[in-house]
Amino acid sequence: MKKRWLAVCSFIVVTAAFHSSTATAQQPGVPPASTPDATASQPAPPQLMPQATPTPTPTASPTPTPAADDTNSSVSTSASAPSGTVGNAAEPVCLCVKGKFKYFMSESFRPGIYPVAAAYAAVEMANPPKAYPPEWRQGFGGFARNFGDFMASWVSVQGGKFVVASAIHEDPRYFPSKSKNFFARTFNAARFAVVDRSDGGHPRPAIANVAGAFAGGFVGNAYLPHPYANASHGLSRSGFALLGFVTSNLADEFHPEIRRIATKLHLPFIGK
């Protein structure tokens, strides 16, 4: 079981690397026209040629300086924030519920996940669990069952993560480390599986990750053959799902290096 999951994690790393984007001016005022003083007791003075009244030059009003934010968070909370699976630590933008739903759809059905599911199904059929019945071991039917098992677990992980993250204002994205040190970056990737960020940009326990891992681990109890549809195997699958967050974060963290190596080796898709 461990060998199969390690193989799947390796595939996740490769596919994740593939994926892995006024001042306003016043209107010039017009002064009232001046009229010549005239009195009833004095004769009207001779009519003089009217002189042009100088028009005051309009001055642009200074642009008001925006008030300083009272909060300590540097995260923008724009409702139209773009969604993405990897956050930008230099310019963090808060995801609204709509953005988190886009994250869920992008992660759940990204093109690279289908080859991973096919590889998982092939490994399961090549070395199936001992108690698997023939319909899970042989032929196209067995391949389809194992393929569907992986996809059901994966979508459940992302679905559980989306629901909980939306409810408790947790940011589901991974934020790469600002450090250039290999060990610091590796630690950041592992830490984000259990300690991520709130919508305000503050560190917090990754409750959404844990909830998603449990959802992905226990969904198999609805369809897997006996004796794999029980709490013990559900907890085991949940642990591997949580480990999957670490491998996915590592792929996102070292994506530039992976892409550079793939380009040198002329590997298709990954280096692009």
202-242, pLDDT tens digit by residue? Answer: 999 999 999 999 999 999 999 999 999 999 999 999 999 99
DSSP state for residue 221 in the 8-state scheme: G
Distance CA 237, CA 14 (A): 21
Distance CA 85, CA 227 (A): 36
- What percentage of residues in the chain have a pLDDT greater than 90? 54
Q: What is the mean pLDDT of residues 139-152?
A: 96
Q: What is the pLDDT of residue 152?
A: 97
> Can you list the pairs that 49-57 forms with residues at least 24 positions away whose Cβ atoms lie under 8 Å?
55/28, 55/30, 56/28, 56/29, 56/31, 57/28
pLDDT confidence band for 162 (50 / 70 / 90): very high
Distance CA 78, CA 99 (A): 11
pTM, full prediction: 0.67
Using DSSP, state whether 230 is helix, strand or coil: coil
Distance CA 71, CA 222 (A): 46
pLDDT confidence band for 51 (50 / 70 / 90): low
Q: What is the pLDDT of residue 86?
A: 85
Residue from 213, 152, 237 nearest 229 by CA? 237
The residue type of 120 is Y
60-101, pLDDT tens digit by residue? Answer: 444 444 444 333 445 544 433 434 578 776 666 788 899 999
Facing residues of 197 across strands? Answer: 171, 203
As a whole number, the mean pLDDT across the chain is: 77
Q: What is the mean pLDDT of residues 92-118?
A: 89
Q: What is the pLDDT of residue 43?
A: 47
Distance CA 1, CA 21 (A): 37
Give yes or no for residue 155 having a pLDDT over 60.
yes
